[in-house]
Amino acid sequence: MTEFAAHFPSPLGPLVATADDHAVTGLWFEDQPGSPPAPDGPPTPVLRHLGDWLEAYFAGANPPVTLPLAPRGTPFREAVWQLLRAIPYGATTTYGALARELARPGRMSARAVGGAVGHNPISLVIPCHRVIGAHGALTGYGGGLDRKTALLQLEGAL
């Protein structure tokens, strides 16, 4: 399967995205740990759609996520990422709340959920920045806490 890449400007620093023929597979800030050194490829329809989404998002809109997404991870990580997609724009949740949701009816570690959140390969669109620590603490974000704060402010969540 061929993977394509594109770079996008943002008010919080340049972004790099990857996609296959059908879906977005990754989105990171260029200086974020785990960001691939990806040269720009041909502008695919999926990446153009992502660029439009990012432009609307950073303009302060709440664009619907109609992008096809294909994050790759373990079944556990993918289950956590699915929960992240359900966090509404302008809202936050905690690692503990996600753990309780995922564990029904059993128990789940907030730390395990935090590890899966931290490995989210499609930041912003799969909104891991909306997950905060207990008692409202801003913790953990691969793009840095300054960016997490700015994203939550953009969405009116702080």
> Which positions are annotated as active-site residues?
128
The continuous run of DSSP H or E covering 7 comes out as: strand 4-8
Q: Terminus-to-terminus CA distance in the chain, angstroms?
A: 41
DSSP secondary structure code for residue 134 in this structure:
G
CA distance 101 to 91: 16
Strands, DSSP E only, in 9-153?
15-19, 24-29, 93-94, 131-132
